[in-house]
Amino acid sequence: METDALVIGAGPGGYVAAIRAGQLGQDVALVEKDAYGGVCLNHGCIPSKALLSATSLAERAASAGHMGIDAEVSIDVPQLLDWTDGVVDKLTGGVEQLCRHNGVELVEGHAAFVDRSTVRVEGGDVDRISFEDAIVATGSRPVELPGFAFGDEPVWSSRDALSPERVPDRLLVVGAGYIGMELSNVYARLGSDVTVVEALDSALPAYEDDVTAIVRDRAAELGVDFQFGEAAQGWTEAGDGIRVTTESEDGDSHGYDADRVLVAVGREPVTGTVGLEQVGIEPDADGFIGTNRYGETGVDGIYAVGDVAGKPLLAHAASTEGILAAHHAAGEPLDVGDWIVPAAVFTDPEIGTVGMTAEAAEAAGFESAVGRMPYSASGRALTADETEGFVRVVADEPSGALLGAQVVGPEASELVAELAFAIRQRATLDDLAETIHVHPTLSETVMEAAEAAMGQAIHTRN
């Protein structure tokens, strides 16, 4: 096969790049060895959020007695997983249809470079593809800890945890990052006794303490037990289950009984099987491919996007990178201006962040103005019985320009989009405060946080 643009990997970076290349009039081949949509649609973002939504609905219904709602709730796990699979199938099928509609040739198999203009493909009907430009979008995979091989039956990766044969009575989670925290919530709601072991001294260490404390406390209310400052060492069979051993910073050993252990300590790029050495690309010490903002690797005509290109390892960032690479390869480069990438954690409650924290702003030399609006002062949050959390905005005090925001609470992943847009448009606190928001809505908390930063708060103390 010959093509203008070759894309290796059909995750959020790859399939978006392929579709955009097709829209730009190029002949495009998209090679995927597993499932269209990549890890995100098939084994990550989508199934995890489906399980989070369903188990949250069950938990809220079962605990709404104070609202006058009495319900006995049970979860049919096989039916729940069937429903989740249906959501995944609908979306992955949509990706295939969109690719075909935009003229993308879908090629099954595993692609690896032979030289600068050719890849070999194994496992499908096409043996070789010659190309003008190539975009590597092979994504990432869970990091495997020593002593916890994913091939061992009791040891789960995040992928295993999203399609369990049965719900374990006792689940030990190694890692209190976003994956570990989200899945801890799911399994606690499904009835597992969940213990989280984290080598660091807090959950979600990438976020500020007052943000993570709310999430950690809510998880504890669900029954999640946290053990911080302990590094997992290994596991052995014990009785009808397993025993996981850990070691604390002072050298003390601890043991925890479980039926399954979920290892969720991060992700690593999939770059070792693509034949990068054949084209002169050498990943860094962590396995990532160095690129510029257009995805260029330093080898003419070969690009890398998404998780293989390094942080942020986020699906929406990968899609934007795919679009930029496709345009550049087609000779129609885009200038997207400021690179503003929001992030979200779908815990209970959610976390949404974008831009700088107050500490980062001051370290960068800004004289920051900070405004905070608690959900407990929001009429909409009260009527939804979701009052934990807050919206905080960080601005440059002399100019009022918005620099960053942190949201923890219901719909944080939605609210952060307005704040990301405001930062990208170089909006000020005045712009946010003077934009009329619908009442009663959670979005009003953004307006009120901006007012608080200016010392003009109406519904909360300045």
Structural contact between residues 287 and 268, judged by C-beta atoms closer than 8 angstroms: yes
Helix axes 14-23, 77-101, angle to 10 degrees: 30
The neighbouring-strand residues paired with 354 are: 405
Instruction: Decide: residue 26, CB within 10 A, 0-12 exposed, 13-18 middle, 19+ buried.
Output: buried
Give the closest residue to 129 by CA, choosing from 21, 11, 14, 32. 32
**The residue to which tokens 């609210």 are assigned:** 415
Which tokens sit at 121?
A: 């493909």
Q: How many CB atoms lie within 10 A of CB 439?
A: 10
Query: How many Å apart are CA 273 and CA 287, to the nearest integer?
Result: 11
Helix axes 45-62, 77-101, angle to 10 degrees: 140
Structural contact between residues 63 and 73, judged by C-beta atoms closer than 8 angstroms: no
Residue 109 CA, distance from chain mean position: 26
Catalytic residue among 316, 437, 439, 459: 439
Q: In sequence order, which residues have a C-beta less than 8 Å from that of residue 173 and are 6 or more positions away?
A: 180, 183, 184, 194, 195, 196, 197, 261, 262, 264
Query: How many Å apart are CA 448 and CA 459, to the nearest integer?
Result: 7
Catalytic status, residue 110: no
Which residues are tagged catalytic?
A: 439
